[in-house]
Structure 1
Amino acid sequence: MGSIGLVHVQDICIAHLFLMEEPKAEGQYICCVDNIDMHDLLLNHTFVRNIINDDLEERPGLMKPMISSKKLRKLGFQYKYGIEEIIHQQLMLL
């Protein structure tokens, strides 16, 4: 699809604990801090740009599928890590 949902593994663990302790929690939940287009990831994030040598060009914005954790956030869950931190930590492992 070209778009991926990102979440830090620690946020997933914290979300599990949060939902086990939340009396209003029921059903299934999506745990995704944000969505990012793969092209945008390569084009706009400096951590990735330092690794990629190819010339990337802007392209017109396309409608991308969105994965939403609105139900989880509505209960009061807050993510600890954003996209920049997730990408940075992942690239540090390479």
Structure 2
Amino acid sequence: KAKLPAFRPTTQPVTVIPVEASAATIEKGRILFADNCGSCHGMGGWAAGIIPDLRRSGALGDPAAWQAVVIDGVLQDRGMISFKPYL
């Protein structure tokens, strides 16, 4: 009988990064994402609200931040393990 808090949609914009890669490289990235990221972050980066929505991640346009999060595991204490052994 408890009530959930009122839904508050995010106002954070989607990050758009220009892509300068071949179709083969983009396909390889899609497969890597599907195999390593999609099960938690959703295919296409559309998370369901519990896991961060990667479309709004500041790390997308910052190679050093991406490295720190995905490879170095800087957010490990928040549940985002390092994917260094896999990527």
Shorter-chain TM-score tier: under 0.3
| Higher helix residue share | 2
**Structure with more strand by fraction:** 1
Where relative contact order (Cα < 8 A, 6+ residues apart) is larger, the structure is: 1
TM-score (norm 1): 0.24
Q: Which structure: larger Rg?
A: 1
- Superposition TM-score, scaled by structure 2 size: 0.25
